[in-house]
Amino acid sequence: MIPEAGGSASFARRGFNDTIGFVAGWALLLSYVVTMAISAYTIPPYLSYFWPVLKEPAIGTSVSIGIIAFLMLVNVIGVKESTGINLFFIVIDIGTQASLIILGGILILGLHPNILAQHMFGQGNWPSTQNLVYGIAIAALWFYWSRDGVPIG
């Protein structure tokens, strides 16, 4: 129906007017920039459990800047030209998830299943009713915000 790129900004421009489309486009751009910055900022602390050198602020910040520079380079090269990079990261992602599932199954279920059952179903391991309702509300909000295709860091 709309043979042009632009997504939500194009829909807003066609549905309302140019000003609303302009505001929607800039709001989406700001959202994506902030999401990318937050994501790049949180990667080094997660990886610091594997590589403790990333706990140093200067190195962690340098890694965050490097991640943003890499993503900028991918955008400059172009989507079609960077397909190989995307495939590489897809393979790494699937391999990582598969290895976590296999290792988790072996280490948690295989070694001591009785201890696992005690930790899962033992006294004090279930949330209170108030905390359960609070957790469900937070999960519902996150689902609502992420269902529109807006990535959440």
- Structural domain count of the chain: 1
**62 band by pLDDT with thresholds 50, 70 and 90:** very high
- More confident of the two residues 117 and 26: 26
Q: Is the pLDDT of residue 64 over 90?
A: yes
Stretch 20-39: mean pLDDT, rounded? 87
Which range of residues forms the domain containing residue 29? Answer: 8-144
Stretch 62-84: mean pLDDT, rounded? 85
In a domain, residue 16? The reply is yes
In a domain, residue 2? The reply is no
Please give the pLDDT value at position 133.
Answer: 92
**147 band by pLDDT with thresholds 50, 70 and 90:** low
In a domain, residue 83? The reply is yes
The overall average pLDDT reported for the chain is: 82
In a domain, residue 53? The reply is yes
Please give the pLDDT value at position 153.
Answer: 47
What kind and span of H or E run contains 74?
helix 57-77
In a domain, residue 52? The reply is yes
pLDDT, tens digit (0-9, with 9 covering 90-100), for 88-119: 889 999 999 999 999 887 877 777 777 777 77
In a domain, residue 151? The reply is no
In a domain, residue 153? The reply is no
Burial 12-50 (b: 16+ CB within 10 A, else e): bbeeeeeeebeebbeebeeeeeeebeebbbeebeeebee
Stretch 137-147: mean pLDDT, rounded? 77
Q: In whole angstroms, what is the distance from residue 24 CA to residue 84 CA?
A: 32
In a domain, residue 126? The reply is yes
Q: What is the pTM of this model?
A: 0.51
CA of 138: how far to CAs of 31, 34, 77, 135, 152, in Å? 20, 21, 38, 5, 13
